[in-house]
Copies of this chain bind each other. A is one copy, B any other.
Amino acid sequence: MAHNTKVTADSNAPAVTRMLAEFVATHPSHGWDAQVEREAHRTFGNWLGCAIGASRHATLEAALAAVRELSPAPQASLLGRAERVDVASAALLNGIASHTFDFDDTHLRTIIHPAGPVASAALALAEHRGASGRELVDALVLGVDVACRVGNAIYPDHYDRGWHITGSTGMLGAAAACARLLKLDAGATAMALGIAASQPIGVREQFGTMTKPFHPGGAARAGLMAALMARHGYTASPRALEAPRGLMQTFSTKCDWNEIGDALGRRFEIASNTYKPFACGIVIHPSIDGCVQLRDEHALGADDVERVELRVHPLVLELTGKKAPRSGLEGKFSVYHACAAGIVFGAAGEAEFADAMVTRPDVVALRERVTATADDAIAEEAADVTVVCRDGRRLHRFVAHAIGSLERPMSDADLERKFHALVDPVLGAERARQLVALCAGLGGAASVAALAAAARP
């Protein structure tokens, strides 16, 4: 698929974030003249009058009714932890957790990670309301469909522009899933989608920071609250997605409306969901896969390798071009580190992206011998990997589709191994086995309560 280089991007913009932060943190108290001080008081008084004046309005009653549903906490589980919190905070925090390792699912056509926003909102609400497993699975399928269909309509322009599409479509998926769980009718569901449409979350500049996993979490929370507000009569535009000043035309130049209705109810986007074998962005999986394959087939160690030469789609360097990552999180945005880890360890799970890994001398030394060249002729899902050995051999592997892709999917056994690697250290192997069984039987479970309870220590 084509990715435009954004012609208006200005890499030399001054550091205005820092400038404003310094100003806010250090400007002296009352450091202005009397006119500013007077206007501050007039501003405050006028605001106060407006807020009190509208305090009994139907708008407030509807929003307050939704907020009241969050109380009393605790209402829903934090996965892997003993705490329970209000249902909206559970959606937020489980959404953050699920994307923290960059190890979650991917709808490859749009590179949306749909479960983060959708499942996080749906499980929290399902647990709180005593929903059945069937209701949860239905909500998940439909919510993922909504997020990914909107994604299909706007990708890649929307993503190229700078949006982190997981968070900027995920709030619609979360709203849809929660509307379904709340049994809202079509009109109220349209309001839920509409309220959510004013809350797209996430820009790509955040990649490599904690705010990246905030995006699916924030989207889960926003969608859940949108559904609760719609349930209590809060209104939005019924054309919030498609109108000229609606969400889609506002945040994307490309709006292929046909994608929304194409085989709706017959083709489900979740059927083409994929799962990551490596704990990092999907775009570097083919490169890692090639390195791991060559390592395993030729029993290579780091000392055998003179250098690694990658030819990759330009997006790989745009997203994961960090040459010298300083933390494990930054390591996930470094094709150099990921490939070095692949050769040293034969794996690129969460352990290989620990902070200590990106400063390990043997990994650092090898990553400095990895070169990557952007090549428009290489597809986004492919990579051309050459390992030049110290003994003069040139080992070559062209990876058309990485393990974990639609063409080479993870098997159920692969997924179970991955689940244990993630969950055993937190809850133990016995509990992890129990959770695997509960997940497998989810669609037939009378309630999601047992699963939510088993996910706590």
A33-87 CB contacts (< 8 Å) to partner B: 35-37, 39-60, 62-64, 67, 70-71, 73, 78-81, 83, 85
Inter-chain contact B146/A24, CB cutoff 8 Å: yes
- The reply on A361 being an interface residue by CB < 8 A is no
Q: Does A392 interact with chain B (Cβ within 8 Å)?
A: no
Which residues of chain B are within 8 angstroms of A56 by Cβ–Cβ distance?
A: 80-81, 426
A386 within 8 A of B: no
- List B contacts of A211 (CB < 8 A): 194-195, 198, 234-237, 240
A23 / chain B contacts, CB cutoff of 8 Å: 142, 145-146, 264-265
| Mask: chain A, 270-303; 1 = CB below 8 Å from B; 0 = not | 1111010000000000000000000000000000
CB distance from A397 to the nearest CB of B (A): 27
Contact check: which of B237, B238, B251, B435 meets A48 at CB < 8 Å?
Answer: B435
Chain A interface SS verdict (over half): helix
Answer whether residue A111 sits at the interface, using C-beta atoms and an 8 A cutoff.
Answer: no
In the complex, whether A141 has a CB less than 8 A from a CB of chain B is yes
CB distance B48 to A439 under 8 Å? yes
Q: Does A180 contact B (CB under 8 A)?
A: yes
Q: Does A331 contact B (CB under 8 A)?
A: no
In the complex, the answer to whether A30 meets B63 with C-beta atoms within 8 Å is no
**How far, in whole Å, are A37 and B18 apart by their CA atoms in the complex?**
48
- Within A178-217, the residues touching B (CB, 8 Å) are 179-180, 184-190, 192-195, 197-206, 208-211, 213-215, 217
Asked whether A44 lies within 8 Å of B13 as measured between CB atoms, the reply is no
Known interface pairs A9-B249, A198-B202; A26-B186 also in contact (CB < 8 Å): yes
Say yes or no: A24-B209 contact (C-beta < 8 A), given A50-B101, A97-B54, A419-B46. no
Q: Are A455 and B17 in touch, CB under 8 angstroms? A: no
The answer to the question of A352 belonging to the interface, with a C-beta cut-off of 8 Å to chain B, is no
A59 to chain B, nearest CB (A): 5
User: Is there contact, CB below 8 Å, between B98 and A85?
Assistant: no
Contact of A206 among B99, B237, B275, B440 (CB under 8 A): B237
Q: Is the pair B54, A98 in contact by a Cβ cutoff of 8 Å? A: yes
| Residues of B close to A442: CB separation below 8 A | 41, 44
| A40 B141 Cβ-Cβ under 8 A | yes
Question: Taking the nearest CB of chain B, how far is it from the CB of A151, in angstroms?
Answer: 13
Q: Say whether A368 faces chain B, with CB atoms less than 8 Å apart.
A: no
**Do A180 and B37 have beta carbons less than 8 Å apart?**
no
- Asked whether B190 lies within 8 Å of A18 as measured between CB atoms, the reply is yes
Which residues of chain B have C-beta atoms less than 8 A from A80's C-beta? 51-56
- Binary contact readout A92-109 vs B (1 if CB under 8 angstroms, 0 otherwise): 111011111101110000
Q: Are A250 and B423 in contact (CB under 8 A)?
A: no
When each residue 216-250 of chain A gets 1 if its CB lies under 8 Å from chain B and 0 otherwise, what string results? 01100000000001000011111111111111111
CA distance A153 to B104 in the complex (A): 37
CB nearest to A104 among chain B residues: B50
A273 with B39, Cβ < 8 A, contacts A8-B249, A45-B419 known: yes
**Chain B residues near A1 (CB-CB < 8 A):** none
A294 to chain B, nearest CB (A): 27
**Which residues does chain B contribute within 8 Å of A136, judged by CB atoms?**
44
Q: Which residues does chain B contribute within 8 Å of A164, judged by CB atoms?
A: 198
A178: nearest residue on chain B (CB-CB)?
B24
Tell whether A271 pairs with B36 under 8 Å between CB atoms, given A44-B115, A203-B197, A237-B209.
Answer: yes
Report the Cα distance A312→B439, complex, angstroms.
Answer: 62
A25 at the interface (CB under 8 A from B): yes
| New contact pairs (8) apart from A30-B137, A52-B79, CB-CB < 8 Å | A18-B186, A21-B187, A24-B180, A25-B189, A39-B271, A50-B104, A71-B73, A195-B214
Top 5 nearest A-B pairs by Cβ distance?
Answer: A55-B80, A53-B422, A162-B250, A21-B190, A47-B115
User: Can you list 6 A-B pairs with a CB-CB distance of less than 8 A?
Assistant: A13-B244, A16-B260, A20-B146, A50-B103, A63-B214, A200-B200
